[in-house]
A and B are shown apart, each in its own frame.
Chain A
Amino acid sequence: MKKETSVAVGMGIVFGLLFSFLVIANTQKNQSVSQKTTNQKTRPVTTEQQTTVQPIVISEPNDGAIITGASVLIKGKTDKNSFIVVQTQIKDMSFTTKSEDFEYNVPLALGENVIHISAYPKGSNGKIQEKELRVYYLGTK
């Protein structure tokens, strides 16, 4: 093989590799852009007519938990500025959330306590989010 031929073959290989690298890089970029567009499409849209309401989530205590004290701190998450009503067999309580996270101390009766939490989210036109949990206070030994 002549020297010129070897140089041409070598350059061909180098250009081929460079071209395929550019094609792969471009394909990956396009894929990430299309994924982003899909995510944007599936994201909930809030309009003036239709308000997206975040479901109320209670992180503490666990449902069915035995509580050692005569009160329990309820920790949860809902929409900011929601009006919350907490009802048990011994007390009705209410407050407005200042952020998405909220916590509230609830007094307990001896035995089973059914804690019913209702959230009236801001601008939801009376659509209420509800959550119920049962905790047990068995007093001192």
Chain B
Amino acid sequence: MKTTEKVLLSCMVAYLCVAPVLAIDATGSATSSLDKGAKLLIEKLATKVEETRKKDQKAYVGLITKTEDSIISISSTNGTDEKKYSIKIDDTLTAIFRIVGTSKKELKKADLKVGDYILVTGQMLNDTLEANEIYIDEQFLVKTAKITEINKTDFYLKVITYDKDEYTLDIQSSTRQYMLNVKTKEIEKSGFTKIKEGDTIHFVVSKTNPGAGKEKNRYDAVRILVVPQEFAVL
């Protein structure tokens, strides 16, 4: 056998030995990159599902109208639209809290009373909401209106909303009063004396705590923001 033939034969033998090993390596790396891709896809899918679940999570709110054993009924009114829900409380699974400022205090089922404003999270099954968490909260009303009357003796404002609802707002020392500066367009602290009839008012009142001895649609104002009638967006 000639030298060239020997070299050629050795090369062929070496290739036959090495080729399968290289092929296995290549397959392995391809499989691992495929695994990584699949894992990444699964993670992305899981994140997306979690995001969608959170986005679709909804709270049911209303005033308690009836309590009996493990079922409570709530009624929610939005304008003229009234919705009623039955809520099932599981003694071991349902957590009940009262929201107090920036914290929440754990309560028992017996603490839920007719007239409480509650938020409920859970699963709606056959028209009954199986509650995971119940929160007793304060119900606020946030509105925009025109000031129609100012009483400077008893410190109240009569206002009318764009839906033609009339409210009386008692301005207390605790009311946070702000006014829009028409020149700078900045919101500044203000006082009762600067308010004029015809100004626009953005107000917050508490339906849960309207103030002592109030008639219908009369509330102690929690906060007001007055936009003077001179304000025009040019």
Residues of A within 8 A of B (CB): 61-62, 64-66, 68, 81-83, 85, 87-89, 92-94, 96, 109-112, 114-116, 118, 120-126, 128, 130, 132, 134, 136, 138-139
Contact = CB atoms under 8 A, between A and B. Distances in A.
Nearest to A87: B202
A12 B133 CA distance: 84
18 contacts: A64-B58, A64-B59, A66-B57, A66-B121, A68-B54, A85-B202, A85-B225, A87-B204, A87-B225, A92-B202, A111-B137, A112-B59, A112-B137, A120-B231, A120-B233, A126-B200, A134-B61, A138-B133
Interface in B112-148: 119, 121, 133, 135, 137-144
A83 B233 contact: yes
A132 B143 CA distance: 9
Interface stretch (B6-14, B32-40, B99-107, B210-218): B99-107
A130 B187 contact: no
A82 B231 CA distance: 13
A83 B227 CA distance: 11
Interface of B: 54-55, 57-59, 61, 99, 101-104, 119, 121, 133, 135, 137-144, 162, 178, 180, 185, 187, 200, 202, 204, 222-223, 225, 227, 229, 231-234
Contacts of A65: 55, 57-58
A138 B121 contact: yes
Contacts of B227: 85, 120
Given A82-B233, A123-B234, 17 more contacts: A62-B55, A68-B54, A83-B231, A87-B223, A92-B187, A93-B187, A110-B99, A110-B103, A110-B104, A112-B140, A116-B144, A120-B233, A126-B229, A128-B200, A136-B119, A138-B59, A138-B119
Contacts of B233: 81-83, 96, 120-124
Given A92-B178, A120-B233, A128-B200, A114 B140 contact: yes
A122 B204 CA distance: 26
Contacts of A96: 185, 233
Contacts of B55: 61-62, 65
A97 to B, nearest CB: 10
A124 to B, nearest CB: 7
B54 A89 contact: no
A67 B224 CA distance: 26
A96 B61 CA distance: 33
Contacts of B187: 92-94
A94 B222 contact: no
A138 B223 CA distance: 23
Contacts of B61: 112, 134
Given A89-B223, A94-B187, A138-B133, A111 B138 contact: yes
